[in-house]
Amino acid sequence: MHLWYDEPASLKAGFSFALSLSNDVEMKHDPELIHGDCRDILKDLGKSGIQADLIFVDPPFAIGQDYEGFVDLMSPEEYIEFTEEYLQSLIQVCHDHTSVWFNVPDSIAAEIVTWMRANDFHLINWCIWHYRFAQNHRARFLSSKTHALWFCQWKPKWYPDRVVVESCRSAEYDDWRDDATGFRVPFDVWGFERFWGRVQGNNKERRQGHPNQLPEKYLERVILCCTDEDDLVIDPFLVLERLVL
Ligand SMILES: C[S@@+](CC[C@H](N)C(=O)[O-])C[C@H]1O[C@@H](n2cnc3c(N)ncnc32)[C@H](O)[C@@H]1O
């Protein structure tokens, strides 16, 4: 898929994340949708010489979600096997500068990092997306995060100026050592600012019936920081049936 956006912050097109964009979304290119099992499709794309500039991987979390024909209830062993299968497929569409981003739960983050490193990818950032709408229980501390992992084989594209945020040192402490502009690159823990929470069923931006919609801001940051206009972005896991473009 091709993406087009104005600098610095207005996202114009998306793929699965078009689900969460507002009505003023403009497409320069129609996204190309391929329906099927990404473990096979990514391999086929690799064989035909397709190389992605960004891959955003938001896989099933193995928590029993009702997806369209895909099984989301897997044992830990089956989940690792499934993960290794799609990792093996997605590296077929990578080149030296491809940014590979994951949005994954605690149960698989460490395995993904180990696997990617063993396959010659560098971990550029291990970010955390923190949300404050956690599933309530009393069995242990409540889970309120996913892992936003960024990998590249060699050197990713990186445009920090597009994603800078106000520096709290300057805004709150009148201390300008971070940057004379008063803006800095975001910390690696995301989610404290406005519009970064989980998109719940009672939020007005929630697409009807979407089981796990990500905030637009999250995808916006990922896309802006590491892609150029007309880059190819692949999103191997998306909620296809509910996709409204
Ligand atoms: C966590 S959701 C992704 C949500 C997506 N980021 C969005 O906002 O629409 C995971 C999706 O992957 C799909 N899926 C599961 N296994 C798959 C597979 N082997 N190949 C392709 N898609 C798969 C599920 O049906 C589900 O829609």
Q: What are the distances in angstroms from CA 18 to CA 9, 54, 110, 188?
A: 15, 16, 29, 24
Which pLDDT band, with edges at 50, 70 and 90, does 168 fall under? confident
Does 67 contact ligand 1 (Cβ within 6 A)? yes
Residue that the structure tokens 């064989």 belong to: 47
Q: How many domains does the chain have?
A: 1
Report if residue 23 sits inside a domain. Answer: yes
| Residue nearest atom 12 of ligand 1, based on CA coordinates | 237
Burial of 98 (0-12, 13-18, 19+ CB in 10 A): buried
CB 187 near ligand 1, within 6 Å: no
pLDDT per position as a tens digit, 209-232? 777 789 989 999 999 999 999 999
Is the CB of 159 inside a 6 Å radius of any atom of ligand 1?
no
Residue 242 — very low, low, confident or very high, per pLDDT cuts 50/70/90?
A: low
In a domain, 240, yes or no: no
Closest residue to atom 1 of ligand 1, CA basis = 60
Q: Name residue 57's beta-bridge partners.
A: 102
Q: Find out whether the beta carbon of 39 lies less than 6 Å from any atom of ligand 1.
A: yes
Looking at the CA of residue 236, tell me the nearest atom of ligand 1: 21
Query: Is 70 near ligand 1, meaning CB less than 6 Å away?
Result: yes
Which atom of ligand 1 is nearest the CA belonging to 61?
1
CA of 42 relative to ligand 1 center, distance in Å: 14
How far is Cα 173 from Cα 111, in angstroms, rounded to an integer?
Answer: 40
Cα of 146 vs centre of ligand 1, distance in Å, is 16
Residue 242 lies in a domain: no
* C-beta 68 within 6 A of ligand 1: yes
Please report whether residue 243 resides in a domain. Answer: no
pLDDT of residue 64: 84
Bridge-based pairing of strands 189-190 and 145-152 is: unpaired
**What CATH number does residue 102 fall under?**
3.40.50.150
Please give the distance, rounded to the nearest whole angstrom, from the Cα atom of residue 180 to the centre of ligand 1: 43
- The reply to whether 161 falls in a domain is yes
pLDDT above 90 (res 63): no
Residue 228 is part of which domain span? 2-235
pLDDT band at 27 (very low <50, low <70, confident <90, very high): low
